[in-house]
Chain A
Amino acid sequence: MTTPQYSPPAAPEAIPDNPPRVKPIVALGGMYRLLLRQQLTKGRVLLALVMGALGILVCTIIARESEIVDVVPVVEFLSVFALGLAIPILSLVLASSSLGHLVEDETLVYLWLRPAPRWILALSAYLASLTVALPSTVVPFSIAAWVGLEGDTSGTLALAYATALAVVAYCGIFVFIGLILRRSLIWGLLYVFIWEFFVARAGQGAARLSINTYPSSLLSRLTEVELPLAERSMTAAITVPPVVAVIAVGLTAWQLNRANVA
């Protein structure tokens, strides 16, 4: 290492009226790349691989047990395992850490204090978690569907669409939860198991307030397999998850504006 010349930045003579303003797209790109790199840990990749492999394994077993291609058990299994369990949990692990980890290790200040609108930080965190969560769920569960349905393209695509919709909504919710709650993993798991699994299955009224019912309804309508409490219309199934995501990102930006940053 060479000894540098001692030359601190020059002090401004007067406070400039217009200090440099960062362009939103530039700030978005910078924050997104950083948060994306933070997302990719060995543990999270391993969890995604295990979940995906498990889905593929079970679908393979289901396909081998039946002499004819039976859509129902494969779709029912993927509805429960992929849409009801693996996707919310994977989304939770990835998205809740996106900002939650910055809060815990007190690095949020390095992004928060920069002169960029807070919605950019919220959107960056959401996009970063989505970038990891989408391929790590859509790819393995589509393979699982393709194996289970013995190459049925329409069924495989139906599962892929439903998975993508679920991830879009869950990531938004869990980025927000990660920001506002300490121990967000525990709270998120309680939400998944108690609300999505238990309360939302108690009846149609509660089901409307769960995320799972919308991708399940889409899967049900596209595959024509009846699934429990999957009775939302096609329009609702397609539009509600992205709307939930937009609201969640907006809430995250709002919370960032009023947060106490360490």
Chain B
Amino acid sequence: MRFHVHIARLGVACAFVAAPASASETQAPLHTSATINFTRLPEGHVPFPEMKPPAHIPAGEQLAGFYLTGMPPDQERMMRLTNAHMGISYLLTTEAAARTYGTASFTGNEAAADTCLADGAEVARRRGMTADDTPPTWPTRNTSQLSFQFDAPPTPDSQPDVHAIHSERFVAGVDGRATLELVDAWVDGRTRGVRLLNRSTLPLSRVFVGPNELEVFAARDGEALQVVLHTGKTLPTPRFVRDRVRQLVVTLPEQDIGVSDCGHLRFALRAPPGEGQMGTVQSTAFLPPSDEELATLGDPAASDHDMKLFRMMRQRAFQLSISASSSSADPHPIVSVSLSWLGRERGSDF
């Protein structure tokens, strides 16, 4: 498989698109800071519906965007052999992924770009760790697939089969706009039935761009700030690096951590008067090699060209912070973004 790579200019965000290697094209430089006008952000709301799950959902009830499949044959066989008395169903976000799950044709995360799932079971766990006055929110652990375990056959002590699932699909727009399509559903892990709970959208505006085209979008949700981090569309090769760069880890308020492997991560920041909250990403930026090094790369058609190019890449840790805070004199939260290097650069050591 050939990797098509395009190299960006020094000192800018790194991006790779299908084209022969070239060091001549420039992109917008990275900046260290931005202050965002809270009142000019698009307005929306991320609802958290009342949790009254049905006892079960018939298998015939389906919902687009929620595709459940059972265990692959090998896994089923293993369960029987080990007398596990347990079943597992998998929730994926495209029909093709569900159809090919567990087979050689399964393309995993890549096929389900920009759609993330979160399991509402996390919410109950988190409630014990937050203050009573904090409104409940969907957990910040996003993934492109979920699994549900159930007792086979069910027993009096079995956990409920119906789960509240939150889905977010990032839809890019033009001129720095985007939309988050939010669908909440009840999912029965045993019957694989799905029932709509709630549907809404959240309009977003891009407020900052970090390394590796990491985009920061924001929206106003009452006096709260909704932040969506979105990984770049064009990511470095090879694929294992691309998959890792799609992973986002964000340090959040109240000892929470946000994690995503599905291309974006949303979290909320609240800033009542005299208070503030921050979300902080620490990750690695890929920086292009110098023109002199590129000149030694050789024939772009060579089979080892892309790997050689990758090994010339420089890496540097960075930190991106998004803050919302209010002094008692501020009529609205002050929103700001900061970007800095975290250390020295180093070569690629994969």
Tell whether A and B belong to one assembly. no
Which residues in A have some Cβ–Cβ distance to B below 8 Å? none
